């Protein structure tokens, strides 16, 4: 890579999306001396609150995109449902988009995504597209029991229906509004985990240690780092993540969610073309955070070390914590626990199931981190850590 690819500190970096991922990116970018412009249509913008410029317009607004393109030589995204066409438009205007519009387009459609991952040589769950009522009738019997998912816009467990028997499929398809869906066979899971792979303009790649994830009601509740899986399983997942990123010609930070099955095999579930909730723990636990890596890939800088500094456990804090506390939770008690780092996202209103922040609990050992996480969970009335 030549120096001409490098964007020096003082340059502007664009962020499509104004949520907590954009907020944490903006903090890292400013620490490295960059200015961030956020494009976000929301009334409240956690990312815009800590950025140099906030453009409050639609992601499809041509005037806003032109403003972004004229100011920012590089643009990224903090959620996968930013219109891929908007990223393509920015690229036409000369912006370096990390990720490319094509990569985002793959992640936005579960049918397209599954086909791409399989073509890259990475195993996926048995599945079938469900695009019509006739597809419900013709679905292979071996896919049951299964899960019917909308092909687009589903997240945190939304847009999914369990279908134990084939005769339930049509009803489930109708309940989802007859939109394009995918039917996936339910598998015997041992562990859910994720790998975050960073890929630079020159094709350089780096992966973080594997994250072990636990969900409740479809929402990530806890991440354990390092994952409690065999070394060979970790190596396989990291290699598969790199294989997918290389096949996409990806630039930026990419998360691959994996299932570790009872027989020890590893199955890729889905991709997220951005930093990931499970990777928030890297801010304190790793030499370089996922957000600093996002800055580095955009600016054409070398990737940082992804080595683990200390074991840790991250707990998501949902709006439920305010409900249970009947007001503001007791942050002072949380912060009194050694090794605990609190991140609140600046959202205007706590709501049930809404991600409002997270706590990272560090320790000299994973057992020590777990004990601290249990204390945090008791104070905030969170689910008991696994």
The rounded distance, in Å, linking the Cα atoms of 92 and 26 is 25
Give start and end residues of each alpha helix (H) in 212-263: 231-248
Q: How far apart are CA 369 and CA 312, in angstroms?
A: 5
Q: What are phi and psi of 101, to 5 degrees?
A: -60, -35
Whether 293 has a binding-site annotation, put simply, is no
154 is in an annotated binding site: yes
Q: Which residues pair with 75 in a beta bridge?
A: 14, 97
- 157 assigned to a ligand binding site: yes
156 is in an annotated binding site: yes
Tell me: is residue 186 an annotated ligand-binding position.
Answer: yes
159 labeled binding residue? yes
**Cα–Cα distance for residue pair 204/252, rounded to 1 Å:** 11
Tell me if 155 is assigned to a ligand binding site: yes
Does the annotation flag 269 for ligand binding? yes
Is 215 part of any known ligand binding site? yes
Q: Is 158 annotated as a binding residue?
A: yes
The response to whether 187 counts as a known ligand-binding position is: yes
Q: DSSP state, 124? A: B
* Burial readout 326-349 (b: 16 or more C-beta within 10 A, e: otherwise): eeebeeeebeebebbbebebbbee
Whether residue 185 is annotated as binding a ligand: the answer is: yes
Which string of DSSP letters, residue by residue, matches 288-332? S-HHHHHHHHHHTPPPPP--BSS-EEEEEEETHHHHHHTSS--HH
Binding site members for ATP: 110, 149, 154-160, 184-187, 192, 215, 269-270
Binding site members: 110, 149, 154-160, 184-187, 192, 215, 269-270
């Amino acid at each position: 890579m030549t120096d001409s690819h490098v964007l020096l500190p003082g340059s502007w970096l664009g962020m499509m999306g104004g949520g907590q991922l954009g907020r944490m990116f903006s903090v890292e970018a400013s620490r490295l001396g960059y200015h961030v412009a956020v494009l976000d249509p929301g009334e409240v913008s956690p990312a815009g609150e800590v950025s140099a410029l906030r453009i409050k317009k639609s992601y499809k607004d041509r005037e806003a995109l032109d403003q972004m393109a004229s100011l920012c030589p590089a643009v990224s995204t903090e959620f996968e449902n930013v219109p891929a066409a908007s990223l393509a438009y920015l690229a036409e205007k000369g912006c370096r988009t990390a990720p490319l519009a094509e990569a985002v387009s793959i992640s936005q459609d579960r049918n397209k995504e599954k086909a791409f991952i399989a073509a890259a040589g990475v195993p996926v769950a048995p599945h079938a597209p469900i695009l019509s009522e006739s597809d419900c009738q013709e679905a292979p019997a071996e896919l049951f029991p299964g899960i019917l998912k909308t092909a687009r816009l589903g997240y945190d467990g939304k847009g999914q229906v369990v279908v134990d028997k084939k005769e339930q499929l049509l009803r489930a398809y109708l309940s989802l509004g007859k939109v394009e869906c995918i039917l996936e066979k339910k598998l015997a899971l041992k562990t859910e985990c994720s790998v975050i792979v960073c890929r630079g303009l020159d094709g350089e790649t780096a992966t973080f240690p594997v994250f072990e994830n636990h969900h409740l009601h479809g929402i990530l509740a806890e991440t354990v780092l390092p994952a409690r899986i065999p070394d060979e399983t970790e190596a396989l997942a990291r290699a598969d993540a790199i294989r997918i990123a290389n096949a996409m010609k990806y630039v930026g930070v990419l998360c691959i969610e994996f299932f570790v099955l009872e027989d020890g095999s590893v199955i890729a579930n889905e991709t997220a073309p951005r930093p990931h909730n499970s990777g928030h723990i890297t801010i304190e636990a790793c030499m370089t955070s996922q957000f600093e890596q996002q800055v580095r890939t955009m600016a054409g800088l070398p990737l940082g070390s992804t080595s683990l500094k200390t074991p840790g456990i991250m707990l998501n804090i949902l709006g439920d914590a305010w409900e249970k506390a009947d007001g503001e939770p007791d942050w002072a008690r949380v912060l009194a626990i050694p090794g605990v780092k609190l991140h609140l996202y600046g959202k205007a209103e706590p709501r049930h199931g809404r991600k409002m922040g997270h706590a990272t609990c560090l320790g000299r050992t994973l057992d020590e981190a777990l004990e601290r996480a249990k204390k945090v969970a008791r104070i905030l009335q969170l689910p008991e850590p696994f």
